[in-house]
Homo-oligomer: A and B are copies of this chain.
Amino acid sequence: MTAPHRRNERSRRAILDAALALLTETGYSRMTIEAIAARAGVGKQTIYRWWRSKGAVVLDALVDGLPAAAALPDTGDIHADLRAVIRATVAEFADPHLSATTRALTIETLADAELAAQVRDRLLRPQLDQVRDRLESARRAGQIRDDAPLDQVVELLFGPIYHRWLLRTGPLTEPYADTLVTLALTAACQPTVGPATERQPDLHAE
């Protein structure tokens, strides 16, 4: 691979900025590499040299514009803490503007496994891990079952949101968020019903 120290930082910035601007102005699918290059005052080749696809550029642009993930607040009240973050997440997905970008990027990931991994690890994992960490702290505090599969509880929270957003099967509102948190926590706190199931491997075990 090319030594990255030769890379022109000014161009890199211009491209990411242009991508972000076009993303909000014209939407992902109507945005073209050619337009990004023109807007950034850059040759197309310079984009192709450093990124594999439109999706990769947008991903970089988004990650680049994101604040570093801080830990979730831990008030000691797991229910309240989760409600806050899930409400925020639901609101984000409900916002047509933010939603459009996510939607667009999701499309790209469906067709490009490499990109999907990047999106997952650089954009989403941090958010999921925040919640997981908060749940772990709650478990240590005895607020949720010892054998609760934390990863799946996290998915219990985010999965339905994605589902509803993706398939538009219902509104994304605050009461919805609250019910969701309650359901997930009930599943995580109460003793399980039904036959015992094999313990799921913890994806985060080191």
Contacts and interface: CB of A to CB of B under 8 A. Distances in A.
B170 A203 contact: yes
Contact of A163 (B158, B167, B191): B158
A155 B166 contact: no
A116 interface: yes
Interface in A95-122: 103-104, 106-107, 109-111, 113, 116-117, 119-120
Interface string A47-61: 000000000000000
A194 B169 contact: no
A111 B191 contact: no
A178 B197 contact: yes
Contacts of A159: 155-156, 158-164
A179 B155 contact: no
Contact of A168 (B111, B117, B175, B193): B117
Interface string A168-181: 11100001101111
A169 B120 contact: yes
A195 B110 contact: no
B151 A155 contact: no
A179 B163 contact: no
A146 to B, nearest CB: 15
Pick the 7 closest A-B CB pairs, nearest first: A159-B159, A159-B160, A190-B190, A159-B163, A79-B194, A187-B187, A155-B160
